[in-house]
Chains A and B, each alone.
Chain A
Amino acid sequence: MNNDTILNIDSIRKSFVRNIVNVRGKDEDERFFLLEDIDLLVSKGKVTALIGGNGTGKTTLFNIISGFFNADEGKISFMSYGKHVELTGINAYKIARLGIGRMFQDNHIFQNMSVLENMLIADDKFFGERPFESILFYKINNTIEKQRKEKAEKIFAELFGDNNPFLKMKNEKAKNLSYGQQRLLGLARLLMGDYKLLLLDEPTSGVNPLVVEKIKELIKYFVEQKELTIFLIEHNMNFVLDVADFCHFMSKGIIAMGGTPEDIIGNPEVRKAYLGI
């Protein structure tokens, strides 16, 4: 792992059990490997895209990286604050604290909390988390709370300009935002934490073309201004061509191909196997 690599995925295997009907017509559990052998490098300060058909295990791989699943074999190492850290077997919340942010494909926001609170919860300062901390040190707590709010408002202003809907609706429940706005809020929130690597699971699914353009803009801003590394799953090929520096094609449990987006998407095999053209 050299200095340009932030995430090194090394021969990850993951199996699940599925129910099949065997030759004698009886139900039987069969173990199969969804991820056969995944090797992948994510370069620092770049956008890496992962494409592949539905059910090939892209989200499973993300879940293994962020600690919700354990891999059967293999290891993942992450470059956190200048040190190599093995992610295998670490709890999800610790992985988040190491600097890996994650956005889910759906339910990416806390519906019943206000827009501002959605931002505050992601703050990288954990002061006030213990139940009595905020009462015992209420002065420090007040200052930190104020800083958090300013930080959130600054992020909104930076990303969406001065008169944006998020600032106007900051005290309303987040579920009152439109679906596209919720997605943008989910992305903006990732700036609250002190993350190095962001895992985005289909950032453009189900939103209108205007929001897709905005998401493109945000991703470029994240990489160029905030020096973040982005690893994303995507089905929108135009989006991949526009934002990604590298692209990997996943098929039958392995990374079948890797390279620049133009090469991968232009490759006849990929076009046949995945795009159907």
Chain B
Amino acid sequence: MFLQFMINGIIIGSIYSLVSLGFALVYNTTRIFHLAYAVLYMFCPYIILTFYSNLGYPLIIAFIIAIIITILLSLILEIIIYRPLSKKGSSDNIIMISSIGIMIVVINIVAMLYGNETKILNQNISETLTFGSIIITYTQLAQFLISSFLLVVFLMFLKFSKFGIKTRAMRDDTILCSVFGSDIYKMRIALFTLSAIFAAVGGGLVAYDVGMDPYVGMPMLLNAVVALIIGGIGRFEAPILGGFIIGILQSLSVWAFSARWQDAVTFTLLILFLMFRPQGLLGEKRRTV
């Protein structure tokens, strides 16, 4: 049984990593505490629902359309809300509060259009693969493969392309970036696009497994933020490590206690980290003077 829960933990951990990485991508570079990111995670499955269940498109096509629409939503947020605020030089808190505002508005619009109740995408019982005593559904397999693929590609991207170097440079100093000829706002468009892809893929894959309601975004976002803090703010590998740790710990807490203890375990871990290692696992202590 232990092994089964471990595997479940790794699979859900890969989703946490993906979602957390999308959040980190925006937070590390622009310092926007992008709470509306939760909305992107919730929004994608509803578009899949529309195109797949209501309009009868094939699942893959519906998924791709949903990702594209989620990207558009993300860019609208950046262009209409964040960019004007940051050009005016608003403080991070103002941007965060406007982000909360957008989140509430979009959640309520979705609730109005689709209803508050839980919807499911996959009506059938998922087929399974059995390895000895371990059972994995095909949905879980897809979750793990797709998210790991995206994680690996992104990390290579970050390491070896000029875009990656610029992303990491933006994390260090945006003003210095523009001195070397980078258009910060173009970079931000790319970053918001990538982060929307991660949120949409994560949201879609989870919703295909367990269904969704308009409020699924926030708990996921909290997990993503905890993963980011545990891994270490400021590095792009960190949320991936944090995501896997949280996924495995949550799954093992189901095994040891009960499913109700998942969040308690997550936030206990957060408190411990904030007290004893605030820079996170991969983070480095900053020189304070």
User: Taking beta carbons and an 8 Å cutoff, which residues of A are in contact with B?
Assistant: 66, 68, 91-94, 96-97, 101-102, 104, 107-113, 117, 120-124, 126-131, 133-135, 141, 145, 193
Q: Which residue of B is nearest A120, CB measured?
A: B165
Query: Which of A66, A120, A134 has most chain B Cβ within 10 Å?
Result: A134
Query: Which of B179, B193, B234 has most chain A Cβ within 10 Å?
Result: B179
Binds A, one of B155-163, B223-231, B265-273: B155-163
Shortest A256–chain B CB gap in Å is 29
Known: A93-B182, A102-B179, A122-B180. A128 touches B173 (CB 8 A): no
A-B contact pairs, 23 of them (CB 8 A): A68-B175, A92-B179, A93-B181, A96-B180, A104-B176, A107-B173, A109-B176, A110-B169, A110-B173, A112-B172, A112-B234, A113-B172, A117-B168, A117-B169, A120-B165, A121-B165, A121-B180, A124-B181, A128-B162, A129-B166, A133-B161, A134-B162, A145-B160
Q: Please, which residues of chain A bring their CB within 8 A of the CB of B175?
A: 68, 92
Q: B176 to A96, Cβ gap below 8 A? A: no
Return the CB mask of B119-163 against A: 1 if under 8 Å, else 0: 000000000000000000000000000000000010001001111
- Contact partner of B163 (CB less than 8 A), chosen from A94, A101, A129, is A129
Q: Please, which residues of chain A bring their CB within 8 A of the CB of B160?
A: 134, 145
Q: A131 to B169, Cβ gap below 8 A? A: no
Q: B176 to A120, Cβ gap below 8 A? A: no
Q: Please, which residues of chain A bring their CB within 8 A of the CB of B157?
A: 131, 134-135
The reply to whether the CB of B92 lies closer than 8 angstroms to some CB of chain A is no
Q: B190 to A131, Cβ gap below 8 A? A: yes
Known A113-B172, A121-B165; further 18 A-B contacts with Cβ < 8 A:
A92-B178, A92-B179, A94-B183, A97-B181, A104-B176, A107-B173, A110-B173, A113-B169, A117-B165, A120-B162, A121-B166, A126-B181, A128-B162, A134-B160, A134-B162, A134-B164, A141-B161, A193-B181
Shortest A16–chain B CB gap in Å is 14
Shortest B193–chain A CB gap in Å is 7
Shortest A192–chain B CB gap in Å is 8
Known: A93-B184, A112-B171, A113-B168. A128 touches B163 (CB 8 A): yes
Q: A131 to B163, Cβ gap below 8 A? A: yes
A127 to B162, CA, bound (A): 7
A51 to B153, CA, bound (A): 51
Q: A193 to B234, Cβ gap below 8 A? A: no
Q: Please, which residues of chain B bring their CB within 8 A of the CB of A126?
A: 162, 181
- The 10 A-B pairs with the shortest beta carbon distances in the complex, nearest first, are A134-B161, A128-B162, A96-B181, A110-B172, A92-B178, A93-B178, A97-B181, A131-B190, A122-B180, A93-B183
Q: Which residues in chain B, 164-204, are within 8 Å of chain A measured between CB atoms? A: 164-166, 168-169, 171-173, 175-184, 190, 193-194
Q: B165 to A66, Cβ gap below 8 A? A: no
Q: B162 to A129, Cβ gap below 8 A? A: yes
Q: Please, which residues of chain A bring their CB within 8 A of the CB of B169?
A: 110, 113, 117, 121
